[in-house]
């Protein structure tokens, strides 16, 4: 059993094409945080630039603005993307989560309506999973979508909706059967974020920027055609999203390998003034990023050969979120007394390159399903430990 990859000539050529394009197009200065109005606008513009290069979502079919790349080519794209230090993907809720779900469960009309505009950065997407009483226990959700002719009337309260303040569209789960409970009677619905009968209120995050929001639905109406999949099948559709694509695509290894490389460089610059124990942490971070990459290639090869991904998504989520946290934690230790400063402080040094990432890494064990929930899934479904 081995893992080794000799890239084909076509794959090398693709890498070279991406590398050249990124060198010519990636903004020289980092964009403002996408959690701000100006920063989000800049990130939206970047999505459009990507689309002009036909790099919006390389794994998608050409008819939706993609290139029909396989997963190995996707990994190559991601490697070049992060190697070039390109901006974060502001439309990730769309391209990584909803897009694949539409591909699997959407009607031809829905796919044609939403996917090309998503890949082109013309429509940006927010997620609306959680409710005040339904976080980890998502099946406790209460928001309703009651049928009225050929429309659904949405009522309820969604919260922690990433990007909802600045995005154009949202997706979430609503009870189409108001008498239902738990996983039944839920439908998966797409909605514009500027409907009458809807209020979006930004929630400042720990850094003070408005990265997520709550959405109040007060008889907002959407056409029945905005339902994805069958009525009552929403839970299964949402969970399917959590399998294959989210498990592999939400966080590509390249992102962490790029961070690990920066961390090694940071360590080298400061090594003389550091506790030697930090060297072990830096090396561990590099090794773990490498392990995550190797595991992803192994998974990609398995999927290309017709395999599936299920519970492995939970193993991945724990691993990358803890890795990201460990790397940023380590960087803050290296920065030492400067780590308390904001990037614009006169003596901040390298803080600007790490602070936003550090803050964001703290959220990693929480979003996309808390790591506690992921550990339950691993223990019960993979290891077959008994349920409580």
Could you list the active site residues?
245
Q: Which is nearer to another protein, 346 or 386 (CB)?
A: 386
Q: Give the residue carrying structure tokens 């189409």.
A: 176
**342 is an interface residue for another protein by CB under 8 A:** no
**286 is an interface residue for another protein by CB under 8 A:** yes
**305 is an interface residue for another protein by CB under 8 A:** no
Of 211-219, 282-290, 335-343, 349-357, the window that binds another protein (rule: CB under 8 A) is 282-290
**206 is an interface residue for another protein by CB under 8 A:** no
Strand boundaries in the chain, DSSP class E: 125-128, 144-148, 151-162, 169-175, 186-192, 198-203, 212-223, 227-228
Q: Which is nearer to another protein, 6 or 28 (CB)?
A: 6
Q: Which is nearer to another protein, 139 or 271 (CB)?
A: 271
Among 254, 300, 330, 368, binds another protein (CB under 8 A): 254
**112 is an interface residue for another protein by CB under 8 A:** no
Tell me whether strands 144-148 and 151-162 are parallel, antiparallel or unpaired. antiparallel
Among 166, 235, 319, 354, binds another protein (CB under 8 A): 319
Radius of gyration of the CA atoms of the chain, in A: 21
**20 is an interface residue for another protein by CB under 8 A:** no
Q: Which is nearer to another protein, 79 or 214 (CB)?
A: 79
Question: What whole-number distance in Å separates Cα of residue 366 and Cα of residue 171?
Answer: 20
**258 is an interface residue for another protein by CB under 8 A:** yes
Q: Which is nearer to another protein, 241 or 299 (CB)?
A: 299
Contacts of 211 (CB under 8 A, 6+ apart): 35, 162, 163, 205
- Residue 339 φ then ψ, to 5°: -60, -20
SS3 letters across 190-251: EEECCCCCEEEEEECCCCCCCCEEEEEEEEEEEEHHHEECCCCEHHHHHHHHHCHHHHHHCC
- Residue 154 φ then ψ, to 5°: -95, 130
Among 139, 239, 287, 342, binds another protein (CB under 8 A): 287
Among 47, 80, 209, 350, binds another protein (CB under 8 A): 80
**283 is an interface residue for another protein by CB under 8 A:** yes
Among 139, 140, 271, 345, binds another protein (CB under 8 A): 271
Residue 368: Cβ-neighbour burial (10 angstroms; 0-12, 13-18, 19+): buried
Contacts of 286 (CB under 8 A, 6+ apart): 260, 261, 263, 264
Q: Which is nearer to another protein, 48 or 268 (CB)?
A: 268
Question: Helix and strand tally (H, E) in the chain?
Answer: 13, 8
**78 is an interface residue for another protein by CB under 8 A:** yes
Binding residues for another protein, per CB under 8 A? 1-7, 15, 78-80, 82-83, 253-255, 257-258, 260-261, 264-265, 267-268, 271, 279-280, 282-283, 286-288, 290-295, 297-298, 312, 315, 318-319, 372, 374-376, 378-380, 382-388
């Amino acid at each position: 059993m081995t893992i080794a990859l000799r890239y084909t000539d076509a794959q090398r050529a693709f890498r070279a094409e991406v590398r050249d394009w990124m060198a010519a197009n990636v903004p020289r200065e980092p964009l403002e945080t996408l959690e701000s109005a100006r920063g989000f606008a800049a990130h939206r513009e970047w999505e459009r630039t990507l689309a002009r290069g036909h790099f919006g979502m390389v794994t998608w079919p050409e008819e939706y603005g993609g290139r029909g790349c396989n997963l190995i080519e996707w990994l190559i794209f991601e490697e070049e993307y992060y190697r070039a230090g390109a901006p974060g993907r502001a439309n990730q809720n769309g391209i990584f989560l909803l897009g694949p779900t539409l591909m699997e469960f959407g009607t031809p009309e829905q796919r044609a309506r939403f996917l090309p505009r998503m890949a082109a950065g013309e429509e940006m997407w927010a997620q609306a999973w959680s409710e005040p009483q339904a976080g980890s226990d998502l099946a406790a959700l209460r928001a309703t979508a009651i049928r009225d002719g050929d429309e659904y009337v949405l009522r309820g309260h969604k919260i922690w909706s990433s990007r909802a303040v600045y995005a154009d569209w949202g997706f979430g789960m609503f009870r189409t059967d108001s008498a239902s409970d738990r996983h039944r009677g839920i439908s998966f619905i797409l909605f514009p974020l500027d409907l009458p009968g809807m209020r979006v209120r930004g929630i400042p995050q720990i850094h003070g920027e408005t990265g997520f929001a709550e959405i109040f639905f007060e008889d907002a109406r959407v056409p029945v055609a905005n339902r994805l999949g069958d009525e009552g099948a929403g839970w299964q559709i949402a969970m399917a999203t959590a399998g294959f694509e989210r498990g592999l695509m939400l966080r590509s290894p390249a992102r962490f390998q790029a961070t690990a490389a920066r961390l090694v460089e940071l360590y080298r610059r400061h090594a003389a003034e550091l506790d030697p124990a930090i060297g072990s942490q830096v090396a561990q971070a590099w090794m773990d990023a490498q392990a995550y990459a190797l595991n992803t290639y192994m998974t990609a090869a398995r999927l290309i050969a017709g395999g599936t991904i299920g519970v492995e998504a939970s193993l991945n989520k724990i691993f990358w979120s803890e890795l990201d946290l460990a790397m940023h934690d380590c960087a803050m230790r290296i920065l030492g007394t400067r780590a308390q400063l904001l990037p614009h402080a006169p003596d901040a040094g390298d803080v600007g390159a790490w602070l936003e990432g550090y803050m964001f890494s703290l959220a990693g064990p929480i979003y996309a399903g808390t790591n506690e929930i992921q550990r339950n899934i691993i223990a019960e479904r993979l290891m077959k430990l008994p349920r409580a």
